[in-house]
Structure 1
Amino acid sequence: MDLGDCYRLLGLRSGASFADIKTSYRRLAQQYHPDINPDDKKAKDKFIALTEAYKLLLTVVPPEETFLNSSRSRTSWYDDLKTSPQEKAPAATTVKTQPPTTPKPPHLAEIEQRLKWKTYEQLQRFLKERRFPQAIALAEALADRLPADPEVRQWQAIAYQIWGRALITQNQLLKARIYLKKALKTDPHNKTLWNEVQRDFQRLEQVF
């Protein structure tokens, strides 16, 4: 079951908030619960699938009300990530977020910022633990939620590149090429990232 299936099972769009996921699961779980449908095998199977989807989404969608403060610069996290014990990931260019042209209500902007930086912390953990599919899903979900945020776009591109490098090491060369191209497409104006990905492509050609 992939993340798209999970969202569809819960009747949600990709990138739905933690609160929406929780609300939808509770509603559907009550509807299909075996205690309410004791002789209905389809309802039981549906309940099991809903529960699995809910648990998977909880691993990639952080609670909005939780916010971890970081004492260091948040845009410097890429410097600390390593794609292998011998190879340190290149530093990405700091991208300054431009103020929105239309100010949002303070409470909404605050919630989005808390979600953004909580997701940032979780993305770091996934990448350091080499849990690349979860990291990609998390970055893509945040990008769907905040499509105009340049920092989010940068994190998404870096996640693609790191997985691409890992795939080269695993000799999954075609898949590696796909994710390296996605990195360039996601953040095409990041010169540092562009140069690093070009070196990754050169490495790919040497392996082929």
Structure 2
Amino acid sequence: MDLEDYYRVLGLRSGASFADIKASYRRLVQQYHPDMNPNDIRAKDKFIAVTEAYKYLQTVVIPEEIISETNNVNSKVSNSTNVKTEVKTSTNIPKSAVNFHPPNLQDIEQRLKWKSYEQLQRFLQEKRFAHAIALAEALMARLPADVEVRQWLAIAYQIWGRALITEKQFPKAQIYLKKALKIDPYNKALWQEIQQDLQKLELKTHC
């Protein structure tokens, strides 16, 4: 499933807020909970799908409190000149307040980045490759200039490509291996590994 599918499972439009996602999840979980629908296979499947959609969207949608924190940082940065003037003219401000540095936007982005990375690792360990790639692609869209995020996406493509080779889905495997090269073309170690993967793939194709 892609990102829009997860929203759809929760009965929401793409781009819904984190609060809406949480509210819809709670409502649907109560509606389709197995305890409320004994021996109902459809309700059980719906319950699983709703839970999975919520867990995934938790990793890619920014909670309102973080958005609020970002806005506060913007406000504090824009008013920094006035703050400095007040510090100079006031004698009642604690000394610790003079040295106060609000968290910057980069710190907030880093928190989101590493939270997503932890989830990405879990997806790869659980062999949920489609989820891993969707998450890595969403993170790449959010942080397109981040070198580490680019490497993570390339590695996710490579791991999925290798899994597809094992499953003998050779054309699809080749697509994802080439995607890995394209997304991170200057990573020499990755390039060498993928060239070996492509050689193995070619041998298996001709066998």
RMSD of the TM alignment (CA)? 3.5
Unaligned 5+ residue runs, structure 2? 32-45, 64-76, 78-101
Residue 23 of structure 1 pairs with residue 19 of structure 2: yes
- Aligned residue for 1:204? 201
* TM superposition score normalised by structure 1: 0.60
* TM superposition score normalised by structure 2: 0.60
- Aligned residue for 1:194? 191
Equivalenced residues, count: 152
Residue 159 of structure 1 pairs with residue 156 of structure 2: yes
- Partners of 1:29 and 1:120 in 2: CA distance: 24
Q: Offset at 1:25?
A: 2.9
- Aligned residue for 2:98? none
1:59-208 alignment to 2 at 5 Å? Answer: 59=56, 61-62=58-59, 106-208=103-205
CA contact (8 A) 1:64 1:114 kept: no
CA contact (8 A) 1:64 1:111 kept: no
- Aligned residue for 1:3? 3
| % identity of equivalent residues | 57
- Deviation track 1:125-175 (CA, whole Å, cap 9, x = no partner) reads 211222211111111111111111111011000000011001101101111
For 1:24, the aligned partner's letter is: D
Shift in CA distance, 159/54, structure 1 to aligned 2, threshold 3 Å: same
- Aligned residue for 2:71? none
Instruction: Name the SS of the counterpart of 2:198 in structure 1.
Output: helix
Q: Offset at 1:196?
A: 0.7
Shift in CA distance, 112/53, structure 1 to aligned 2, threshold 3 Å: farther
- Partners of 2:148 and 2:196 in 1: CA distance: 23
Unaligned 5+ residue runs, structure 1? 36-48, 66-102
- Partners of 2:142 and 2:132 in 1: CA distance: 15
Residue 58 of structure 1 pairs with residue 55 of structure 2: yes
